[in-house]
């Protein structure tokens, strides 16, 4: 039988399985197209376009500075409020954007999934990668503001640590893995229960206030640390400040818990997502 006569049969798998890396690699061109689609479509037909990636965190930082630093007078770990909030939002925004894009994967792309076959995991992976692009745009904006601050304050010690070049990508990997894992869990639940579509936006709003974006972890009373450990985003945010600003409270037990929760969320999220994706088109 020659290649023109060969048939490809697509059928659902049985039992639990993890990733089929060969299949994902085979569809890498589709991944690139979806990454570009997600990045461009987000602010398509807007006046400022990609500049919104910079203006959004800056405007949020201004509001946080006025409300929480000037009015509420919350401490910022000895850092200038603008840099403190902007650095925290750098890590938080990547997590929040990836979580939201992943959690709506099945419901938002049901029409596409019902027409053509490709590995469904390609779509959330595309959102994850496109958000990496926006992260680096915001990182560049943050570094520019940091340089301006250092020039205007010659004696300051605020600035990146040398190991940031090596460790910051690892922090980003953890944020990507955890946001992908919990996002896939919510995407699987959303396929059967549309209430979780509303819950995703509400959950991410509440999650912000239990993450040390507004208040430094060092100011959290010790008796509350056990509850802080339940939030795996806490350590990446503190690590981001430690690497980029030189100030941040890194607790090794909390870091281990955070990494363990990330691995658990990613593995179980992929398994649940791939189980639901087999039949979700029939019920969505």
CA–CA separation, 225 and 120 (whole Å): 38
Span 164-176, mean pLDDT? Answer: 93
Q: What is the pLDDT of residue 13?
A: 53
**Is pLDDT above 50 for 154?**
yes
* pLDDT tens digits, 234-256: 999 999 999 999 888 888 888 89
User: What is the overall mean pLDDT for the chain?
Assistant: 85
CB-side neighbour CA atoms (13 Å) of 274: 20
Distance CA 139, CA 172 (A): 12
47 class by beta-carbon count within 10 Å (0-12 exposed, 13-18 middle, 19+ buried): exposed
* Greatest C-alpha distance within the chain: 76
| pLDDT of 261 above 70 | yes
pLDDT value at position 176?
96
DSSP letters of 2-69?
Answer: -GGG---------S-----HHHHHHTHHHHHHHHHHHHHHTTTT-SSGGGHHHHHHHHHHHHHIIIII
- Tens-place pLDDT, residues 86-105: 999 999 999 999 999 898 88
Neighbours of 214 (CB within 10 A): 19
pLDDT for residue 16: 47
- Taking 70 as the threshold, does the pLDDT of residue 159 lie above it? yes
pLDDT band at 78 (very low <50, low <70, confident <90, very high): confident
Q: Which residues have a Cβ under 8 Å from the Cβ of 89 and sit 6 or more positions away?
A: 57, 60, 61, 64, 213
Angle between helices 122-152 and 28-41 (to 10 degrees): 50
Query: In the predicted model, what is the mean pLDDT of residues 158-164?
Result: 86
The average pLDDT across 172-186 equals: 95
- CB within 8 Å of 263: residues ≥ 6 apart: 177
Using one digit for the tens of pLDDT, what is the confidence trace for 12-53? 555 445 577 888 888 889 889 988 888 777 777 666 777 888
Distance in angstroms (rounded) separating the CA atoms of residues 18 and 169: 25
Cβ contact 254:229 at 8 Å? yes
pLDDT-derived band at 68, boundaries 50, 70, 90: very high
pLDDT digits over 118-127, tens only?
888 998 999 9
Question: Which tokens belong to 35?
Answer: 């990454």
Question: Could you read off the pLDDT of 191-220 as tens digits, one per residue?
Answer: 777 777 778 888 899 999 889 899 888 888
Tell me how far apart the alpha carbons of residues 62 and 54 are, in angstroms, rounded to a whole number: 13
């Amino acid at each position: 039988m020659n290649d023109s006569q060969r048939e490809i049969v697509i059928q659902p798998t049985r039992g639990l399985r993890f990733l089929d890396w060969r299949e994902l690699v085979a569809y890498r061109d589709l991944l690139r197209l979806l990454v570009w689609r997600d990045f461009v479509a987000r602010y398509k037909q807007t006046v400022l376009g990609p500049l919104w990636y910079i203006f959004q965190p800056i405007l949020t930082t201004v509001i946080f500075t006025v409300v929480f630093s000037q009015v509420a007078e919350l401490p910022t770990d000895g850092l200038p409020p603008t840099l403190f909030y902007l650095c925290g939002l750098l890590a938080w925004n990547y997590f929040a954007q990836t979580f939201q894009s992943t959690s709506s994967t099945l419901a938002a792309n049901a029409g596409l999934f019902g027409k053509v076959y490709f590995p469904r995991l390609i779509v959330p992976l595309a959102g994850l990668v496109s958000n990496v692009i926006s992260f680096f745009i915001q990182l560049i904006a943050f570094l520019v503001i940091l340089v301006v601050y250092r020039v205007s304050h010659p004696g300051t010690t605020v600035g990146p640590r040398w190991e940031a070049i090596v460790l910051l990508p690892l922090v980003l990997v953890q944020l990507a893995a955890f946001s992908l894992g919990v996002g896939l869990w919510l995407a699987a639940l959303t396929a059967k229960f549309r209430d979780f579509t509303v819950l995703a936006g509400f959950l991410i709003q509440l999650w912000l206030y239990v993450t040390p974006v507004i208040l430094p972890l060092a100011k959290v009373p010790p008796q509350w640390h056990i509850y802080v450990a339940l939030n795996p985003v806490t350590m990446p945010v503190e690590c981001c400040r430690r690497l980029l600003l030189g100030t941040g409270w890194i607790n090794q037990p909390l870091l281990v818990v955070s990494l363990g929760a990330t691995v658990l969320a990613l593995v179980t999220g992929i398994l649940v997502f791939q189980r639901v994706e087999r039949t979700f088109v029939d019920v969505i």
